């Protein structure tokens, strides 16, 4: 059953159901160490193959209904760099099936607790946004997510499908507080920065990434299939929702297409 979390997450490899167990404690310790040193921690094979295939099928079905986000924005501290290009499709939580394994994974309290523990952030809650809390980005050939810093550390992503060619996730680890940040950004934009590394995550990999500390981008996708990424949002406050401005920019709508009710579980527990 793909609504059963043990059928979705490889709990044999990643025993995160009970964080007090020695194996889970060790995983949390390693994750914190990697995040502090490299700005990123990946869990390859986090999702079981059948669940991954179901997630890909659902995302593929929804892709024609994705909102196309096309803009240029500054993703750098004030006065640095230039605007970079954003071109991708966004699928919202409100478009997913009621029993979507993507939504089921997001609403699993075990994952929320694990992420909270690794990031050492408490209180820690899933975003309650009916559209943007749990989303899929779809990058087709020609699409990209230009260089930027995130507003917060600790973005949680699940790679659903790698693109045919291009579309690499590239980043300059832990550079935010560098005294030479301005020239470093210029080098990155000129493609001459030797600190940029590539993260080669395969489909089914869960990634925790400190996107406030590390400059990053998704390079232009060059050939089909498109790149599919599932992205989860969290907040220190319960019931967090995004502004109309954010919803319009990412999804082209203020209100969810399906109204949450007892049949459509909200992301909050
Ligand atoms: O798609 C990715 O791998 C990262 C997405 C990202 O950087 C973002 O949403 O800010
Ligand atoms: Fe980002």
Q: Could you tell me if residue 257 is inside a domain? A: no
Cα 108 to middle of ligand 2, angstroms: 23
Cis peptide bond N-terminal to 57, omega within 30: no
Number of independent structural domains in the chain: 1
Of the CA atoms within 13 Å of residue 129, those in its CB half-sphere come to 25
Q: Could you tell me if residue 256 is inside a domain? A: no
Say how far apart CA 174 and CA 220 lie, in whole Å: 23
Structure confidence at residue 269 as a pLDDT band (50, 70, 90): very low
Which residue's CA lies nearest to atom 1 of ligand 1?
Answer: 229
Chain segment 215-243, per-residue pLDDT in tens:
999 999 999 999 999 999 999 999 999 99
Say how far apart CA 32 and CA 41 lie, in whole Å: 8
Cα 215 to middle of ligand 2, angstroms: 8
> What is the Cα gyration radius of the chain?
18
Instruction: Give the CA angle between residues 170, 33, 198 to the nearest 5°.
Output: 10
Q: Could you tell me if residue 246 is inside a domain? A: yes
Region of poorest pLDDT, from 30-39, 137-146, 189-198, 258-267: 258-267
Pocket test for ligand 1, best of 211, 213, 221 (most atoms within 8 A of CB): 211
Quick one: which ligand is closest to 148's CA?
A: 2
Average pLDDT value over all residues in the chain: 95
Q: Could you tell me if residue 267 is inside a domain? A: no
Cα 148 to middle of ligand 2, angstroms: 6
According to the model, what pLDDT value does residue 201 have? Answer: 86
According to the model, what pLDDT value does residue 2 have? Answer: 65
Structure confidence at residue 262 as a pLDDT band (50, 70, 90): low
CA 223 to chain centre: 22
Model pTM? 0.96
pLDDT (mean) for 74-88:
94
Chain segment 65-78, per-residue pLDDT in tens:
999 999 999 999 99
According to the model, what pLDDT value does residue 266 have? Answer: 74
Q: Could you tell me if residue 265 is inside a domain? A: no
pLDDT (mean) for 34-61:
97
Q: Is the pLDDT of residue 115 over 90?
A: yes
Cα 75 to middle of ligand 2, angstroms: 9
Q: Is the pLDDT of residue 101 over 70?
A: yes
Cα 107 to middle of ligand 1, angstroms: 20
Locus of tokens 């992205």:
231
Ligand 1: residues with CB < 6 A are 137, 145, 150, 155, 157, 169, 211, 216, 218, 229, 231
Cα 168 to middle of ligand 2, angstroms: 13
Cα 218 to middle of ligand 1, angstroms: 7
Which residue's CA lies nearest to atom 3 of ligand 1?
Answer: 169
According to the model, what pLDDT value does residue 267 have? Answer: 73
Cα 20 to middle of ligand 2, angstroms: 31
Pocket test for ligand 1, best of 41, 71, 150 (most atoms within 8 A of CB): 150
Which residue's CA lies nearest to atom 8 of ligand 1?
Answer: 150
> What residues have a C-beta under 5 A from ligand 2, the ion?
150, 211
Say how far apart CA 181 and CA 158 lie, in whole Å: 29
Q: Is the pLDDT of residue 124 over 90?
A: yes
Q: Could you tell me if residue 101 is inside a domain? A: yes
Q: Could you tell me if residue 118 is inside a domain? A: yes
End-to-end CA distance of the chain: 21
According to the model, what pLDDT value does residue 1 have? Answer: 53
State percent of the chain over pLDDT 70. Answer: 96
Which residue's CA lies nearest to atom 7 of ligand 1?
Answer: 217
Q: Tell me which residue of 147, 130, 116 sits closest to 246, measured CA to CA.
A: 130
Q: Could you tell me if residue 264 is inside a domain? A: no
State percent of the chain over pLDDT 90. Answer: 92
Whole domain around residue 206: which residue ranges?
A: 5-251
Quick one: which ligand is closest to 135's CA?
A: 1
| CATH number (domain holding residue 190) | 2.60.120.620
- CB burial class (10 A; 0-12, 13-18, 19+) of residue 175? buried
Reduce the DSSP state of residue 134 to 3 states and report it: strand
Say how far apart CA 39 and CA 171 lie, in whole Å: 9
């Amino acid at each position: 059953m793909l609504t059963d979390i043990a059928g979705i997450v490889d709990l044999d490899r990643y025993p995160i159901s009970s964080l007090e167990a020695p194996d889970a404690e060790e995983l949390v310790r390693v994750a914190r160490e990697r995040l502090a040193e490299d700005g990123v921690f990946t869990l390859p094979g986090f999702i079981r193959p059948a669940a991954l295939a179901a997630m890909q099928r659902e995302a593929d079905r929804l892709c024609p209904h994705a909102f196309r986000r096309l803009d240029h924005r500054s993703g750098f501290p004030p006065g640095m760099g230039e605007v970079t290009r954003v071109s991708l499709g966004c699928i919202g939580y409100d478009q997913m099936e009621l029993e979507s394994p993507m939504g089921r994974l997001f609403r699993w309290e075990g994952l929320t607790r694990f992420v909270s523990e690794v990031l050492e952030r408490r209180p820690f809650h899933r975003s309650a946004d009916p559209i943007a809390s749990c989303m899929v980005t779809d990058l087709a050939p020609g699409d990209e997510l230009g260089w930027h810093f995130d507003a917060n550390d600790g973005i949680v992503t699940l790679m659903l499908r790698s693109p045919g060619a291009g579309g690499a996730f590239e980043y300059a680890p832990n550079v935010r507080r560098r005294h030479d940040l301005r020239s470093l950004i210029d080098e990155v934009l000129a493609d001459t920065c030797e600190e940029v590394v590539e993260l080669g995550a395969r489909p089914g990999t869960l990634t925790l990434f400190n996107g406030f500390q590390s400059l990053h981008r998704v390079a232009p996708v060059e050939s089909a299939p498109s790149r599919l990424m599932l992205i989860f949002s969290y907040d220190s406050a319960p019931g967090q929702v995004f502004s109309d401005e954010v919803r319009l920019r990412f999804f082209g709508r203020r209100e969810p297409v399906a109204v949450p009710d007892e049949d459509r579980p909200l992301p909050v527990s």
